[in-house]
Amino acid sequence: MINKDKKPELLIPAGGLDTLKVAIDYGADAVYMGGQRFGLRAKADNFTIEEMREACRYVHSTGKKIYLTVNIFAHNDDIDGIKEYFRELHKAGLDRGDTKIDALLISDSGIFMLAKEMLPDIDIHISTQANNTNYLIYKFWYEHGATRVVAARELSLNEIKTIRDHIPEDMEIEAFMHGAMCISYSGRCLLSSYFTGRDANKGACTHPCRWKYSVVEEKRPGEYLPVEEDERGTYIFNSKDLCMIEYIPDMIAAGIDSFKVEGRMKTALYVAAVTRTYRKAIDDYYISEELYRSNMSYYKDEISACTYRQFTTGFYFHKPDEDTQIYDSNTYVNNYIYIGCVENVVEHDGKKLIVIHQKNKFVVGDRLSIMDFDRDNIDVVVEDIFDEKMTPMESAPHPKQLLYISLDHAEGIKQGMIIRAKRP
């Protein structure tokens, strides 16, 4: 029996202001962002203090929530900087009013203590990096004032259910629903530090788990002997991505309050596709299980249309086995090209023109697909392309160029919609 009063939160990553707006427009209940310091994912755009203020205002104006990651494991040398950072957040009003961050996402108990002292009005969620594997950990954090704990990725749904049964009702459980997996135990990976000096636990992972490895015999430099577990190949560390679109009822039954999507470095196209699909699937399930099951092929097609590796259910039903890794390639499957986001729709010479900053090349005559916020796609053909001086162009080869596009029809196209093109 599902609790119709308590729909789980759909929590989407925001690598920058653009993707944050896309996530909200396509149906996220909450977003999480990183500041320019002390949040994992150093390679994401991340938010300046002023951008955080803008992000909070925007998210709150839609009635949604916004969280900030401060989830590094700090060394002694980091402490003064973290204090200064928390002072900056307070000074910028990020702990009050319409610019208040709804929660900080923290791994380190020392940073937790500092946040409690310096930003007492902001809720604290305990990051998955803190390895939250049993109900005593949840109780510990509850008693210390955390309102939510993110489940360790290594937990099964049965274990999460047991945690739910042992913790207070108002303590929230957040768990990953979709996104990349590490082959290491969460937050305990030294591959990137070892190979490149860039620390995964400080947000700078260079993903050596996806590299191609060979064996070299000392006296035969340059002769690469393949590392093969079997005939499938050599990418022995390369995990499939988590995807739980088929198991929303199981996630709800386990007592999970917030469904989290991984990936603060993903494109707006990925964010739009994943958010819209999970939004639709959750809402359908809350209308009826029959509706949810009947739309499964739509969800799977849409999820597969965005950038992904191959899918796994991670640890949720059993421990990962040899089928959880990808052996023959380290590349993504990628069915669509990101063309841009509708920034405006303007009238010119009696025609509606779509304004975008181009992300990938397209030409006059191309078929494009515009992602409606709800579910459908608006299929269009490019009739004309103009540059910012309204000079006609046959193609749009320059990334980030401001363009005006005339389409064969423009009904229903709104600001914020993502434009994509099917790969040939």
Q: Please report whether residue 192 would count as binding ligand SF4 according to CB under 6 A.
A: yes
- Binding range to ligand SF4, per CB under 6 A, among 26-34, 169-177, 180-188, 306-314: 180-188
Q: Please report whether residue 208 would count as binding ligand SF4 according to CB under 6 A.
A: yes
Alpha carbon of 307 to those of 236, 248, 273, 282, 332: distances in Å?
Answer: 21, 21, 9, 21, 6
Q: Please report whether residue 207 would count as binding ligand SF4 according to CB under 6 A.
A: yes
Report the largest interatomic distance among the alpha carbons of the chain, rounded to a whole angstrom: 74
Taking the least distance from each CB to ligand SF4, the nearer of 46 and 406 is 46
- Binding range to ligand SF4, per CB under 6 A, among 61-69, 98-106, 177-185, 280-288: 177-185
Q: Out of 40, 42, 191, 403, which residue is the one contacting ligand SF4 (CB under 6 A)?
A: 191
Q: Out of 189, 248, 268, 269, which residue is the one contacting ligand SF4 (CB under 6 A)?
A: 189
| Residue spans of alpha helices (H) in 216-364 | 248-253, 268-287, 289-294, 296-305
- Binding range to ligand SF4, per CB under 6 A, among 3-11, 105-113, 184-192, 329-337: 184-192
Taking the least distance from each CB to ligand SF4, the nearer of 10 and 189 is 189
How far does CA 94 lie from the centroid of its chain? 22
- Binding range to ligand SF4, per CB under 6 A, among 11-19, 204-212, 319-327, 342-350: 204-212
Q: For residue 386, what are its two tokens? A: 């103009």
37 Cβ contact partners less than 8 Å away, ≥ 6 residues apart: 81, 85
Q: Please report whether residue 200 would count as binding ligand SF4 according to CB under 6 A.
A: yes
Taking the least distance from each CB to ligand SF4, the nearer of 58 and 211 is 211
**Beta strand spans in 41-114 (E):** 65-70, 103-106
Vertex 245 angle, CA 241 and 251, to 5°: 100
Let me know: does 413 contact 382? Beta carbons within 8 Å: no
Residue 242 CB, nearest approach to ligand SF4 (Å): 13
Let me know: does 357 contact 268? Beta carbons within 8 Å: no
- Which residues sit at the interface with ligand SF4, rule CB under 6 A? 182-184, 189, 191-192, 200, 205, 207-209
